[in-house]
Amino acid sequence: MFDFFLIDTAFAAGSITNAPQVADILLNILYFLLSIVGIVAIIGLVVAGGFYLTAGGNEQRITLAKRASLASVIGVIVALGALVIVSQLTKFFLMPL
């Protein structure tokens, strides 16, 4: 009447031993987000260069281009700094015993 085959199959499966840890998944997400931030900052630097190239002597456009390039360089520095900090913290806290 009852089919206990499914229960036996579930017990036979055992535990998952090769699954990634939650810390590894979160680190992969963080590395992905940091790479997106770096790509956006580099695209901003290219756009700022385009602004400067097409300014044609207009002081307001030159000022805009300089501010955009400064913000993009700061973005690249922040992204690289965060990447270094995260990798060092990962080595410190997830060190194998």
pLDDT digits (tens, 9 = 90+) for 51-71: 999 998 899 999 999 999 999
- Between these two residues, 9 and 68, which has the higher pLDDT value? 68
Helix (H, G, I), strand (E, B) or coil at 57: coil
Q: Higher pLDDT residue, 60 or 31?
A: 60
* Cα angle, residue 31 at apex, residues 77 and 25 outer, rounded to 5°: 155
Instruction: Name the average pLDDT for the chain.
Output: 80
Residue 56 DSSP class = T
What lies within 8 Å, CB to CB, of 27 at 6+ separation is 86, 90
Task: Indicate the pTM of the whole model.
Answer: 0.66
Q: How much is the average pLDDT of 9-28?
A: 69
The residue to which tokens 């690249």 are assigned: 76
**Are 47 and 68 in contact, with CB atoms under 8 Å apart?**
yes
Structure tokens at 95: 């060190």
